[in-house]
Amino acid sequence: MATLIDQVKFNEQGLVPAIAQCVHTNQVLMMAWMNAEALETTVSEQRAVYYSRSRQALWRKGESSGNIQKLHDIMLDCDGDTVLLRVEQIGGIACHTGRHDCFYKTWNGDDWQINQNVIKDPKSMYND
């Protein structure tokens, strides 16, 4: 019998990229990293849990901000080296900048232009 992580190809650091996608709109919300423990915890808790490379620890999305990602589906790409989490973004904010998603800059041919407003000031969501 296969386990959750049997077919996942983790990189040399023991990590796999994880893309969070809105289950309602299919919009890509963010990309983060997961180790085996984060992947297993995500499934057991039914919420997105990532691995913070800067803190070297598990990071439960929304633990500080309240903007959790409720897990609906978890998928593995054809090469086994990228995970897709289909989530419900509670609070409507996925990005630590206070925006809906992390992909808020568009290249216009000359420069990166911001294409989203801040929904909530990050200082009011984090104690950092």
| Residue reference for tokens 């990229």 | 17
The pLDDT, as a whole number, for residue 104 is 96
The pLDDT, as a whole number, for residue 122 is 85
The whole-number average pLDDT for the span 10-30 is 98
Residue 43 CB contacts under 8 Å (≥ 6 apart), including other chains = 4, 71, 74
Domain-embedded: residue 47: yes
- Domains: count for the chain: 1
Domain-embedded: residue 124: no
Domain-embedded: residue 127: no
The pLDDT, as a whole number, for residue 31 is 98
Domain-embedded: residue 10: no
Domain-embedded: residue 76: yes
Residue 4 near residue 30, CB atoms below 8 Å: no
Residue 128 has pLDDT above 60, yes or no: no
Q: What is the CATH number of the domain that holds 93?
A: 3.10.20.810
Domain-embedded: residue 4: no
Expressed as residue numbers, the domain containing 55 is 16-118
The pLDDT, as a whole number, for residue 64 is 85
Measure the CA–CA gap between 87 and 36, rounded to whole angstroms: 19
Domain-embedded: residue 11: no
Q: Dump pLDDT digits (tens) for 71-127.
A: 999 999 999 999 999 999 999 999 999 999 999 999 999 999 999 999 998 888 876
Q: Dump pLDDT digits (tens) for 29-62.
A: 999 999 999 999 999 999 999 999 999 999 999 9
Domain-embedded: residue 23: yes
User: What pTM did the predictor assign?
Assistant: 0.91
